Amino acid sequence: MKAYLFPGQGAQFSGMGKELYEKSGLARSFFSAANDILGYDIAKIMFEGTEDELKQTRVTQPAIFLHSVIMSMVMGKEFSPDAVAGHSLGEFSALVAAGAVSFEDGLKLVYKRAESMQKACMLFPSNMAAVLNVDDAVVEEICRTIDDVIIPANYNSPGQIVISGTVKGVEKAVQLLKEAGHRRVFPLKVGGAFHSPLMQHAADELKEAINETVFIAPVCPVYQNVSARAVIIPETIKSNLILQLTSPVLWKQSVQNMLTDDINEFIEVGPGTVLQGLVKKIFPAAVVSSANY
């Protein structure tokens, strides 16, 4: 069985989606609709924008969403998932591709998400750091000892976890990890503490928008970040989406559960190959590829 995977923030690059636009009239119609919904020419920024322009949250998240979702649309009948999953932002792409929410509503939610997260970043000085080659339990225990907001935010693969919290919390965690002999700890150049309690302001804003949006049962199970479990019930999908901004991304656990549920092929839809690499670290024998259109 096949699972289609959708990447999150960080997969963007200048020129993304341009080939899709040039080859497909259907893709051009979606890009045109996106420009109208967002109120600015995101296609132009995606095709010609600088690295700095593409790093702006209000651009990055809609851009990655558009690249992934439009690719799945252009694939037509070739897009035939037995399951879907997306990493953080990619969960919204996965839900649209699986028919749980419309393209228009999905894009509006992603843009609202980006704006709300940017506001939350401005309210609380915060950061994230990648921790490599350390057991999850060790990272979790160090976070628990710190008297500040700091939590494991992304369980990406065995030996790859991201922590998220206040600037002081991240600094203290990095210090304690290095003092314990764990040298491969790297602060990330991000705007804030994603997937932590410091995103509660953003979650509150996004909650209203999600609750006002129509969701239906997807064409296949969606393995959501918050639970790492297969979900098809619309109300559960919405509840998990609301929790997503303040909860860890259980990516490693999601892939492990897909493997248990007899998924044996993983196809990444959208920019980059990051998720394929994570899947191979979780299960080296997995069959992985990029989507073709």
Which residues are part of the catalytic machinery? 88, 195
Whole-angstrom Cα distance, residue 286 to residue 161?
Answer: 21
Copy the structure tokens of residue 235: 């109300």
> Who contacts 282 (Cβ-Cβ below 8 Å, separation ≥6)?
157, 158, 252, 255, 256, 259
Q: How crowded is residue 192: how many other Cβ atoms within 10 Å of its Cβ?
A: 25
Whole-angstrom Cα distance, residue 201 to residue 207?
Answer: 10
Cβ atoms of 277 and 22 within 8 Å: the answer is no
Cβ atoms of 276 and 266 within 8 Å: the answer is yes
The candidate with the shortest Cα–Cα distance to 170, out of 192, 202, 154, is: 192
